[in-house]
Amino acid sequence: MLTLHRAAVLVVDPAAPPVHDGAVLVDGGVVAATGPYRPVAGARERTWDGLLVPGLRNPYGQWLLERAYHPDPREELGSEPLSGAAYAEAFGGEPGELDQERRGGSARRGLQRMLAYGTTAVAGPFELPVVRTAVARSGLVALAGDGAEGGLDPLAGTGLAQAVHRPLAVGGRADFAVFDVSSVAELEAAGAGCCLATVLGGRLLYRRR
């Protein structure tokens, strides 16, 4: 099935000039075409009033999914990952002591929250089988990493060029995100928390309500 994602501004590669009123044509799970918007017969259209960029890479995946804890909404502890004193105050102990069921639930919630930051790839290494399973089922691309500690925003302390997983390319996987800004400079200033939508393998897996 063809889906045409039209955006106010399209960035196919941070090294290339942006395209105003651009579009990405997706055929199933891959990119079929990119460039200035033009209607495509038979394609379903989605129009985004924002900046469409390649999906982002979160380099802190191992820490976020295996060392921190992502609260269940029913626990009324917010959506930010808990660790150290914050976790001890809420539950006592350390998040590293979670049993497999709670660790799996935390990892699944963490992966869902990453999608809300335009993340389409996450860095490991993932040592816990329950976390490896959650990552594999999420559809996010698992990458090598160094286990560094950090947060959910892939743009924190870095620029878009460093945070992009890979440029959008015809024939490549359709992984991208749309943000509620009109330029790369605005995105870098605001951070990835202004994400409107995340598409992973051609599937719209997150859309801000």
CATH code: domain of residue 203: 2.30.40.10
Calpha distance 124→206 (Å, rounded): 22
The reply to whether 158 falls in a domain is no
Q: Is 57 helix (H, G, I), strand (E, B) or coil?
A: strand
* pLDDT, averaged across the chain: 96
Residues 26 and 66 in one domain: no
Q: What average pLDDT does the segment 112-121 reach?
A: 98
The reply to whether 161 falls in a domain is no
The reply to whether 154 falls in a domain is no
The tokens for 44 are 């379903």
Report residue 49's pLDDT band, with 50, 70 and 90 as the boundaries.
Answer: very high
Q: Residue 199 is inside which H or E element, if any? A: strand 195-200
Task: Give the lowest-confidence range in 25-34, 79-88, 158-167, 172-181.
Answer: 79-88
pLDDT of residue 67: 93
Residues 70 and 122 in one domain: yes
Report residue 97's pLDDT band, with 50, 70 and 90 as the boundaries.
Answer: confident
**Distance, CA of 143 to chain centre:** 13
Q: How many domains does the chain have?
A: 2
Residues 67 and 44 in one domain: no
**Burial label, 15 (beta-carbon count in 10 A; 0-12, 13-18, 19+):** exposed
Model confidence, pTM: 0.94
Report residue 94's pLDDT band, with 50, 70 and 90 as the boundaries.
Answer: confident
Angstrom distances, CA of residue 47 to CA of 44, 56, 63: 10, 21, 35
The reply to whether 125 falls in a domain is yes
Report residue 93's pLDDT band, with 50, 70 and 90 as the boundaries.
Answer: confident
Residues 137 and 69 in one domain: yes
Q: Is 27 helix (H, G, I), strand (E, B) or coil?
A: strand
Q: What average pLDDT does the segment 37-65 reach?
A: 97
The reply to whether 20 falls in a domain is yes
Calpha distance 26→64 (Å, rounded): 31
The reply to whether 112 falls in a domain is yes
* pLDDT surpassing 80 at residue 96: no
The reply to whether 148 falls in a domain is no
Residues 68 and 138 in one domain: yes
Output phi, psi for 88, to 5 deg: -60, -40
* pLDDT surpassing 90 at residue 95: no
The tokens for 94 are 């350390």
**Domain end call among 111, 143, 175:** 143
**Domain end call among 92, 109, 143:** 143
Task: Give the lowest-confidence range in 59-63, 85-89, 157-161, 180-184.
Answer: 85-89
Residues 80 and 100 in one domain: yes
Residues 51 and 65 in one domain: no
The tokens for 88 are 């001890």
Residues 118 and 70 in one domain: yes
Calpha distance 191→101 (Å, rounded): 32
Calpha distance 11→193 (Å, rounded): 18
pLDDT of residue 98: 85
| Domain span including residue 70 | 60-143
* pLDDT surpassing 80 at residue 41: yes
The reply to whether 94 falls in a domain is yes
